[in-house]
Amino acid sequence: MEFDAYQVSRMLGIQWEHFTYRSRVGQKDFFWHQGMRANDVALFLMLLEQIGFECDASYLINLLRPEILTKGKKALTRSELAITTFEKKRHRHGELYLLADREKNLPLESKIMGRITTRLGYGLTMKQNPDGQIVSICIRSPKQPRERPGTKMERCPDCGVSWEKGDPDSSYAHRQQHQKLMRYLHPQPHKQYLRAMQTEQMPGLVSWRSAGWKHREMHNRALAFKREMQYESCQWAAPGQPRDRDAVGYLVANEEGAIIGAYCFRERTRLNQSKQWTLDWIWICPKHRRMGHLARRWKGLREAFGDFAIEHPVSDEMKLFLSKQGDSALLSL
Ligand SMILES: [Zn+2]
């Protein structure tokens, strides 16, 4: 198997950027290249080491660190932070998961298919589902994470974020994240949605003309979907960005008017110029899953959008849902 640096780096969340060379003559057409910033190359090497590859970033890090430290910066990017804390954290990240999150529900029948210990002492445990697909890889560092005296690593049971109890910066960062995440993980009755229930025939419907708050709520769910599926891009325009006229969103609310999820349809043009609706993404907050929210709306969706296609990749959960609805055929549209 070939090592595809581009794919692997994207999977690890590394940014690639377009760049071009400055020209001396007044040039009209630019030729664009894709590249990684030096800081991100260092981060990529560090992450490769964390997932068990033997790869030493210290030479590059020693070149880059002085500049980051002398800038007197107030804010640090992910790669800058990783570079400045490299020595302290090397070989001590603890447990790290690839493909599936520790919290993510794996199929019940997934089994451990193998364990490897690398020469440097990284322990890899792989699990596979009944179809033989690898569904999760856990990588354990050779050394335990070092806890600072007076602090303790905690994982918030509500929002799932890990933070260092006793460290003011870390506590602050968690509180901020917590508030943001809880808005969609534990949704409460939504004032504007409740008002829309009184005044609109389809309060959940979000078109490019809809009110700003609806777009904000859609964007938050698109972010949640992106976060959970570990995708690269967010499939709903952020507030302030130009709205997408081909997208139709729908906010899913419960009886109390709490927004528990959302889905998005998009009209695509096929090669032969015909139009086709596609279910682009769907996200329901974990607490409210498997309660029939989608099943109750399914018939209505089929009436509104006809034989729509389903954007790939499709989760196992969604495949199962489609087969229960007798709609597996939509997968091959
Ligand atoms: Zn929390």
| DSSP assignment of 228-272 | HHT-SS-SSPPTTSPP-TTEEEEEEE-TT-BEEEEEEEEEEE-TT
Please check whether residues 180 and 192 belong to one and the same domain: no
The span from the CA of 267 to the CA of 245, in Å, is 9
Q: Residue for token digits 């800081």?
A: 39
CA of 158 to the centre of ligand 1 (A): 5
Q: How many domains does the chain have?
A: 4
Please check whether residues 28 and 113 belong to one and the same domain: no
Q: Which of 68, 90, 112 is the last residue of a domain?
A: 90
190-195-197-201 Cα dihedral, nearest 10 degrees: -130
pLDDT at 229: 79
CA of 211 to the centre of ligand 1 (A): 30
CA of 173 to the centre of ligand 1 (A): 10
CA of 81 to the centre of ligand 1 (A): 22
What pTM was computed for the model? 0.60
Please check whether residues 133 and 258 belong to one and the same domain: no
CA of 187 to the centre of ligand 1 (A): 14
The span from the CA of 179 to the CA of 194, in Å, is 21
Please check whether residues 174 and 99 belong to one and the same domain: no
CA of 152 to the centre of ligand 1 (A): 15
Residues of the domain holding 40: 1-90
Please check whether residues 179 and 218 belong to one and the same domain: no
CA of 159 to the centre of ligand 1 (A): 4
Please check whether residues 294 and 217 belong to one and the same domain: yes
pLDDT at 106: 60
Please check whether residues 61 and 97 belong to one and the same domain: no
Residue 325 is part of a domain; what is its CATH number?
3.40.630.30
CA of 157 to the centre of ligand 1 (A): 7
CA of 166 to the centre of ligand 1 (A): 15
CA of 246 to the centre of ligand 1 (A): 35
Residue-wise pLDDT tens for the chain (333 aa)? 688 888 889 888 888 999 988 877 776 777 889 999 999 999 999 999 999 999 999 999 999 999 888 866 778 888 999 999 999 889 998 888 887 655 455 666 678 888 999 999 999 998 888 888 888 888 999 998 877 777 888 888 888 888 888 888 888 889 988 988 898 999 999 999 999 999 999 999 999 999 999 999 999 999 999 888 777 788 999 888 899 898 999 999 999 999 999 999 998 888 888 888 999 999 999 889 888 889 999 999 999 999 999 988 888 888 999 999 999 999 887
Q: Which of 90, 106, 130 is the last residue of a domain?
A: 90
Please check whether residues 7 and 44 belong to one and the same domain: yes
Please check whether residues 64 and 103 belong to one and the same domain: no
Please check whether residues 40 and 65 belong to one and the same domain: yes
Q: Which of 90, 113, 130 is the last residue of a domain?
A: 90
CA of 189 to the centre of ligand 1 (A): 20
CA of 11 to the centre of ligand 1 (A): 25
Please check whether residues 169 and 209 belong to one and the same domain: no
CA of 111 to the centre of ligand 1 (A): 30
Q: Which two tokens stand for residue 63?
A: 């070149």
CA of 28 to the centre of ligand 1 (A): 51
CA of 171 to the centre of ligand 1 (A): 10
Instruction: Provide the pairing of β-strand 309-310 with 247-253.
Output: unpaired
Please tell me the number of Cα atoms within 13 Å of 5 on its side-chain side. Answer: 9
The span from the CA of 9 to the CA of 4, in Å, is 8
CA of 179 to the centre of ligand 1 (A): 8
Please check whether residues 198 and 316 belong to one and the same domain: yes
SS3 48: helix
Strand intervals (E) in the chain: 17-19, 33-35, 95-98, 111-117, 123-128, 134-140, 152-155, 162-165, 205-206, 247-253, 259-269, 275-284, 309-310
Look at phi and psi of residue 306 and say left if phi exceeds 0, alpha if psi is from -120 to 50, else beta: left
